[in-house]
Structure formats: C-alpha cells, structure tokens
Structure 1
C-alpha cells in the first residue's frame, strides 16, 4: 500500500496545486491530510476545495483550522504582536470561507488510529491531546515518546512544526511530512511524504516540490492579504517569519 501524507497548506493553493500534480505521478492508494488547511495564506477556500477533491481517507483538524472556527472569544482583544497577526488572518479568511466549509473545518477529528497493512498507526496534527505542542526533528527520544497513545503503535504521522523529517525512536517510526504552504526548514519547496507499506515493512519518501512562488505572492498582493511581508519572507527563505519581521520593523 502507498499512502500520501500532506499537511499545513495554510491557504497557499499555488503550492498545493503543485503537490497535487506530483501526486498524480506517485499514484498513492490513499491520502491523509494532517490539518492547518487555512489561515496565513491568500487562498483558504481554494485549499479547502482542493483537499476535498482528493477524497482523502482522513483529514485531521489543525490548530489554525481549530482557531479559525472557534475564535475569537467574546470580548477578546489582541494583547501581543502575534495575536494581532492572527486576528488579521482570521478576518481575511472570514471574508473568503463559506459557512458550509467553516462547519466542515470545525467538525474535523483531532486524531486517528488505524492500521495500514500490518502497521498500527497514529495520526495527529501536533500530537496526542494537543493541537499546539511542538516536537521538533531534533527532539530527545523522551520528547518523541510523547507522540503516541498506544503501546502497539509502530508509526506516528504528524505535521504542525513545518520541518520535514523521519526518525526512529524506541521502536516507533516518527514521520513529519513538513508543510506544503509554509515550510520553515530552510527549503522553500512544498513538502509532503509518501509512505509505502509491505506488511510490517515501511519505506518513507520526503518529497520536495518546486512551485511558482511569484504567482503565490502576486495572488496575495492582488487580494490585499494582510501581513504580506511576513508571507513573502516565509515563502522566499522558508524560515519562521513573524519574529524576524517584528525585529525589522
């Protein structure tokens, strides 16, 4: 069996379109999406519809999908620079995502446990019982050990950190497929994973796909997306943009 794992499109439909084109050459038997489909990019609605068109086996709710459908609380006002960015992204997406798609995002599951071939697998956006905790590729083995619930699990798939990697730890394989729309690992190509199963054997490809960054930026500018400078910094340098941009202003 061949499984494609995608995550963290963040409204960048130009990058997602390139990945979908590459997927047609890979011929996966199934596709799973690990969340953060919307916010921080210019085309959130298009990303939702493109993900749906793939007829994925599962779509897991990401922290930004969750935030968009449950935010802000009554009376909330931004208290930090990052919260101001989030509010502007939320308001932008509210103008572009219809009620039906908002309901779909709000009701996505936050985890899935299943078996591929003979491999017990757990899937999350960030990890068990959390949408926001961060486990980076350079985490300790004990930190990696927080990414599963069931002792018999042999494969963990997750997104969230925008760093693609594969690591073995304490009898489990951990795969982060990286980010399609906003990689932060220094490689600005869209990232996703292909996992091949043959009974209990597993092979993983981390695929990096070149796409037209200038087109994505042109769409953002044409739509007057807020905080375009941060979006452009992230697309060009594949680095977390918000702290850097704050220091430059």
Structure 2
C-alpha cells in the first residue's frame, strides 16, 4: 500500500494561500487531507475557505485555539477585558455573520486529538498538546521533555506525532526517538530569524506512507500572490483590515500588540459593536 497525505494547518482566513496550497497538493497527487486546526480569522475569507475545505474533505480534523475563539465569539461568549479579547470577539462576529450556525457547530464538534493508523504506523494528531490547543510548550526551541508529552495518551502507542500551532515546519525526535512533525502554517509562517522570516509562502507537509513506514516527508512551500490577498481584504468588511494587509507585507501578527489594538478598538468602536451583537443573539 501507498498513501499520499497532505497535512495542513493555520489557514487563518488566508484564501489565496489556501488556494495555492490546495492546487499544489493536487499536483503532488494527494489522496487524503489532514487538517491540524485554525481555519479562520483574522483574514477576510470565510465562505470561500469553507467551500475549499469541504472539497478537500479531510479525513482527520482537530480543533485549534483560534477555532475555539471562532466558536466562543460567534456564540457571544467573549469578554472585553483585554484589547486582544476585543480583537478576537469582533473577528468572530464577522465570521458568524458570513456563515450559517451549522458551520460554527461543526467547528465546535472537532476533537482536540485524533489517532489514525496508516499502514504500519500509528499517528497521533493534535493542534498543540493532545489535551491543550494553546500555549508555547511546543515552540520549536523548547526542551525535548515537552515534546515527549505528545505521546502521553491512552490506547495504542503512537509512532509519529503531528502538531501545528507554532507556525514553524519541523521534524524532530522525542527522547525515545519517535518522530514529531509540524506542517508549518499555510496562512502565516513565522520565524524570528529575519532571513528565514522572508519566506512567507504557504507551508504544508506531504507525507507518503507505505507498508514499511514513512516513504516521503516533504515540506512544501508554495508561492501565492500576497497583493491579491491584500486586495481581497480591501474589498471586504473584515474588521482590522489594515492590520491584516500589514501582515501580508511583514509576515508579523499583531494579536498581542495592546497599544495598536486599543487604537483600532477605540477608532471603530469594536467593543460596543460586539456587545450589541452578543446581546442580540443571546436575548
């Protein structure tokens, strides 16, 4: 047997990147798709991304931390305590206004962790840790003991762990030499080393598994038109569109820039907009 699997994550609402990644995966003869979390926000595209996602029909799906934010925000459950909370809430409101409640409920139903046997190997798949889809415990420079936790699950032992979340493609080993993979980010790859940060292509992972094991592990970096993505944002009513367009130039996220977010929140009255939305849907 031979199975070719496209493993992808962290779209973050970037339609142009997802389209490029999907077309490349077809050229790479992908037979199956595994999605490792964070589909929407802060990018402007919602319905179009959901349509492509349905075409891919992933056989493995796990829920990322931004997927949780989409659900909580769309259901009017976000607080306004910090500038970033307003940012998440208002973006989730935008998502809810562009898809049916069925989509939100589907995202809410995604599990945190999945095990999947392919040929001779058992894969464990999670957005971050198997029980926690947030935090920096698995940032690439963390100690090996943190990565060993990817294998601390009940049931049949996992041979290969796959996670996402940190927006870095990665192949490394646990302390017992089991394999750990990260596909990187389709929508926004990150790297603090500037010469590497310049590679803002759509990152994903192609696996080929045969009866012996991993026959191929290919980290794909696919070019796409970031100016086109900026124009999609310009033509939309997505909140914080200027920050998203800036991301298309710098590759940097502004999620936790409290000063900058406070400026936008006050200028556009985003907190009150979300409070009114939450009051309306929960009344």
The alignment's TM-score, normalised by the length of structure 2, stands at 0.81
> Contact 1:10–1:44 at 8 Å: present in 2 too?
no
Structure 1 or 2, whichever has the larger Rg, is 2
The 5 A counterparts of 1:44-123 are 44-71=46-73, 77-123=79-125
> Contact 1:233–1:241 at 8 Å: present in 2 too?
no
Mapped pair 1:179 → 2:181: no
Distance 1:74 1:17, change over 3 A: closer
Moved more, 128-137 or 237-246: 237-246
Counterpart of 2:270 in structure 1 is none
Distance 1:231 1:75, change over 3 A: closer
**3-state SS of 1:70 partner:** helix
* Alpha-carbon offset, residue 198 of structure 1: 2.7
Distance 1:4 1:99, change over 3 A: same
The 5 A counterparts of 1:144-183 are 144-150=147-153, 152-170=157-175, 171-183=177-189
> Contact 1:11–1:38 at 8 Å: present in 2 too?
yes
* Alpha-carbon offset, residue 58 of structure 1: 1.7
CA distance in structure 1 between the aligned counterparts of 2:56 and 2:146, rounded to whole angstroms: 33
CA distance in structure 2 between the aligned counterparts of 1:5 and 1:243, rounded to whole angstroms: 28
| C-alpha RMSD over aligned residues | 2.1
Q: How many residues align?
A: 249
Mapped pair 1:210 → 2:216: no
> Contact 1:155–1:172 at 8 Å: present in 2 too?
yes
Within the candidate set 133, 139, 143, 1:140 is matched to 143
The alignment's TM-score, normalised by the length of structure 1, stands at 0.91
* Alpha-carbon offset, residue 27 of structure 1: 0.6
Distance 1:99 1:73, change over 3 A: closer
**3-state SS of 1:67 partner:** helix
Q: Deviations over 1:44-65 (max 9, x none)?
A: 2221221111121122122222
Unaligned ranges ≥5, structure 1: none
Counterpart of 1:196 in structure 2 is 208
Counterpart of 1:6 in structure 2 is 8
Unaligned ranges ≥5, structure 2: 192-196, 264-283
Q: Deviations over 1:26-56 (max 9, x none)?
A: 1122111111111211002221221111121
